[in-house]
Amino acid sequence: MARIVIVSNRVPAGMAGGPQAGGLAVALKDCLKDGGLWLGWSGEIAPTTCADVKIGRFGKIDYATFDLSREDYEKFYVGYSNSTLWPLLHFQPGLVEFDRAYFDAYLSVNRTYARALAALIEPTDLIWVHDYHLIPLASALRAVGVENRIGFFLHIPFVPASLLNLLPRAEKLMHMLCAYDVVGFQTEQHLHDFEDCARHFLNVSADAGAPIVIDNHSVLPIANPIGIDARAFARQAKRSAQGNVAKRLDESMQGRALIIGVDRLDYSKGLPNRFEAFGRLLDRFSEHRLKVSYLQVAARSREDVTENQRLKRELDRRAGEVNGRHAEFDWVPLRYITRAVARATLAGFYRKARVGLVTPLRDGMNLVAKEYVAAQDPDDPGVLVLSRFAGAAEQLTEALIVNPLDPDEIAEALHQALTMPRAERKARHEKLFEKICQTTAATYCHDFLGALMGETSDVVT
């Protein structure tokens, strides 16, 4: 049976006391249940970037990590990954910062990953690379003689050719993506855009669902939506909703309806418009005044990205403005927390919320939308208000789908959600829950590895 080797920018945090379940670790739990190897940056800064890895073993998984130099951290991680690729692939060309030194560092750090990995793998290992930091890794691995099957999954959106065209060296990026054996995307739309880009930049034929052949190499692009273990999350939510923290939330609400938003504090999440929309709900639908509170949990994230610092200041201002305009001495309409909240606590909060408000400007998938659906009480479920530009909207069509750029449309959807009859809420929820049980974390792993193995291998997941 082949070993699974995962490569991602970071390995799951908290290795000193055993790995904590980060988003990716939760999603990949299934394919690593028989063990495997996981390589990534340690999160530490050292005088130089060096491919010498530290190995730790937790449970059945070996974790291999290496440090980055300050300069590589700034140019590879903050620079090319998060100030060039992240905004471009989230349809924010105005925020793209391109610098050749960033691109050079991006290639050079990927070569370090390749050297580190080449020293650790066996010829039969299946290598699964995750996300936009590591697009060049397959080419770098081939350059040092690695012949294993290598797959790549992009967790964030992919863009149409007209947008990718803005990126200097877009053609090279497409070549590097095509050096993999399988390239996975979250949605059919992203897959379609990738195939379009292959035709446009590489001048190859790319038929829907078929491998693309370039330079005698064949790459299979697939759509493979990531999911959660919906039934386990539902059980967790039921338990947490009876716990002490959820009780405190209940008491503080004094019978009011709760709208919840849960995001990393990132400009792709559409938070300023969301705050604006909530203000407009209170302006335009005055029956909700004093009857509803909106809790936004916004964990600070990638604070070295200048745009996220600016966003934090803007949200502080807007939250103050909404509350200044609407609050009463015994009612805070908008509660805004810039910290992470434990996953179990979140599950209980979702279950208490009448509305889940998920309005990113763009998102690869958005797992918060699926978590909110999973957490609901099927007998009295809340309503999901979902951006049409989240990957999840391709599947979750029974949500109230909104354009996140239009605060009035969001306000109207909030009003519809808050006044929706129970029978309609139940009917919508039933279909949504069925869907999130069909594409789970387990099917995500199984389907990707199935594609990576082709027909011939005997790996079991």
**155 flagged as catalytic:** yes
CA distance 259 to 354: 6
Among the listed residues 90, 155, 288, 429, the single catalytic one is 155
CA distance 147 to 138: 10
Contact between residue 362 and residue 91 where contact means Cβ atoms under 8 Å apart = yes
Q: How far is the CB of 108 from ligand ADP (least distance, A)?
A: 26
Contacts with ligand ADP: how many residues (CB under 6 A)? 15
Based on its alpha-carbon atoms, the radius of gyration of the chain, rounded to whole angstroms, reads 22
Find how far residue 397's CA is from the centre of its chain: 19
Contact between residue 362 and residue 93 where contact means Cβ atoms under 8 Å apart = no
**Within positions 22 to 41, which residues make up the interface with ligand ADP, using CB under 6 A?**
23
> Does residue 371 belong to the site contacting ligand ADP (CB under 6 A)?
yes
**125 flagged as catalytic:** no
Return the number of the residue (20 or 162) whose C-beta is nearest ligand ADP: 20
> Does residue 410 belong to the site contacting ligand ADP (CB under 6 A)?
no
> Does residue 340 belong to the site contacting ligand ADP (CB under 6 A)?
yes
Q: Which of 37, 68, 357, 367 binds ligand ADP (CB under 6 A)?
A: 367
Q: How far is the CB of 76 from ligand ADP (least distance, A)?
A: 20
Return the number of the residue (65 or 366) whose C-beta is nearest ligand ADP: 366
- Candidates 11-19, 68-76, 95-103, 259-267: pick the segment binding ligand ADP (CB under 6 A): 259-267
CA distance 278 to 412: 10
Q: What amino acid occupies position 352?
A: K
Return the number of the residue (126 or 396) whose C-beta is nearest ligand ADP: 396
Read out DSSP for 13-66? Answer: S-GGGS----HHHHHHTGGGTT-EEEEEEEEEEESS---PPEEEEETTEEEEEE
Q: Which of 257, 341, 401, 437 binds ligand ADP (CB under 6 A)?
A: 341
> Does residue 297 belong to the site contacting ligand ADP (CB under 6 A)?
yes
Residue that is written with structure tokens 């009448």 in the block:
354
Contact between residue 86 and residue 43 where contact means Cβ atoms under 8 Å apart = no
> Does residue 366 belong to the site contacting ligand ADP (CB under 6 A)?
yes
> Does residue 236 belong to the site contacting ligand ADP (CB under 6 A)?
no
CA distance 64 to 237: 34
> Does residue 368 belong to the site contacting ligand ADP (CB under 6 A)?
yes
Q: Any idea which residues carry the catalytic annotation?
A: 155, 363
Residue ranges binding ligand ADP (CB under 6 A): 23, 262-264, 297-299, 340-341, 346, 365-368, 371
